[in-house]
A and B are shown apart, each in its own frame.
Chain A
């Protein structure tokens, strides 16, 4: 197994690490038993993600996918962020080893979970907009 240069860069110096005290959408995906948890903090204004931070427990690819995924949605309208696929995350990282693809799924789901949380806080049912959040990790 080998990581791309891009993965190693994002792992060594991840972007957008931390928490947002004024986040209005927070999503957490994964579980400790499987060895990876991602938590996304979004600050959304006028349907635009004006700031994003993450905390991740997991392997290098989990940290790298969180990092690049947050880069990809920062400044984007929610409608665009919701279009982010795990495939796009993998491509942006110049690929991931096959056994690590699930990390990219986690990143996609964590963003969706945070957006769903935002809608819930607005009193809007998120499911028709965000879809079902798959928090089944490795299963």
Chain B
């Protein structure tokens, strides 16, 4: 049986190139980057090079890149840091969207308990924030706007440059959680007026446990970890040297192949949409055009997402769903609800996130098994029976 890994938005396999680059930093170049002897300096050079690589990929300067343990840490640091700055000036208002990752939403919720007010912007049916809504939400008390670059569930790409321009004009700091976007779409932090950006290595073939926060020079916010001079003293702790080296190689590789990947992957994704849309009572979630090349998100009425993804797994396909059962809560995904889906429709959601190594055969295999699985689940679904009965009554 064919195996198709269709959850690249959750994590990606580490590339051979990355592994090869990392290995020497675990063995011969294992030194502590803070040590002055040569083996330490070799490690130091490895980190320095990676910092340059990450900076180059974002259009930033190397002294604006701070390595972290991943995207969630970068999000927490940026938001809490700016909030602390804002609080000093009596500015305790944050603007974000309803479809952010929980690393952002839960951090905002924690700040609300500390007396901050947070505006959660609508994203409308297409899953995209409207820049004018950001403008209208900004007040004299606003210290931060944090809007994700691209959504992890429905793949929608937000109008970051427009929002950045508004924030610059209004003198409000702008952070973007770009965990899903970095390495997949072109980002230029200067041109897009991004003050802070979070990224995570394992979303583009580096290892888990390494990420970075880009923070524009001149923004002075609190250190995350005290205890050493690493990351300009802002995040102490001996660096994850192999992970950081791998991150640099991975991001460079993605940049070099971006155009080609984007073209190839989005074409496969479109083939998948076209095929899966033939299933009746289905819908595509999120804007059809302004979305990540590798993101496929659809809902199939009358079926439940967890059953759907487990049956796909039995057919060698690793997928994801935003149903309540898979979100670990009673409600389906906040993202699907934010684009206006009813609970019962959102429960039937399926996310497939493609990889650069996919072929047409992978897409065709999914299209071969998916309709049958949906049919099988609908055949035993009282909800589907109700949907059909209602249609008959209205026919």
Binding site for B on A (CB under 8 A): 1, 8, 11-12, 14, 17-18, 28, 32-39, 54-60, 62-63, 99-100, 138
With A35-B325, A35-B332, A138-B330 in contact, is A17–B380 under 8 Å at CB? yes
Residues of B within 8 A of A14 (CB): 380
A39 to B389, CA, bound (A): 15
Residues of A within 8 A of B39 (CB): none
Binding site for A on B (CB under 8 A): 302-304, 306-307, 310, 314, 323-325, 328, 330, 332, 342-344, 347, 377, 380-386
Contact partner of B304 (CB less than 8 A), chosen from A54, A55, A57, A100, is A57
- Decide: A57 and B383 in contact? CB cutoff 8 A: yes
A32 to B381, CA, bound (A): 10
Contact partner of B382 (CB less than 8 A), chosen from A11, A38, A59, A60, is A38
- Decide: B323 and A37 in contact? CB cutoff 8 A: no
A35 to B347, CA, bound (A): 6
- Decide: B323 and A35 in contact? CB cutoff 8 A: yes
A138 to B344, CA, bound (A): 14
Residues of A within 8 A of B306 (CB): 59-60
Chain B nearest CB, measured from A60 CB (Å): 5
With A1-B328, A55-B380 in contact, is A12–B314 under 8 Å at CB? yes
Q: Interface SS of chain A: helix, strand, loop or mixed?
A: mixed
- Decide: B380 and A59 in contact? CB cutoff 8 A: no
A63 to B381, CA, bound (A): 10
- 19 example contacts (A-B, Cβ-Cβ < 8 A) are as follows A8-B310, A17-B380, A18-B380, A32-B343, A32-B344, A32-B383, A33-B343, A34-B343, A35-B304, A35-B344, A35-B347, A39-B382, A55-B381, A56-B381, A57-B380, A57-B382, A57-B384, A59-B307, A99-B328
Smallest Cβ-Cβ distance to B325: which chain A residue: A59
> Which residue of A37, A38, A54, A62 has the most chain B CB atoms within 10 A of its CB atom?
A37
Chain A nearest CB, measured from B371 CB (Å): 18
Smallest Cβ-Cβ distance to A14: which chain B residue: B380
- Decide: A56 and B380 in contact? CB cutoff 8 A: yes
Residues of B within 8 A of A56 (CB): 380-382
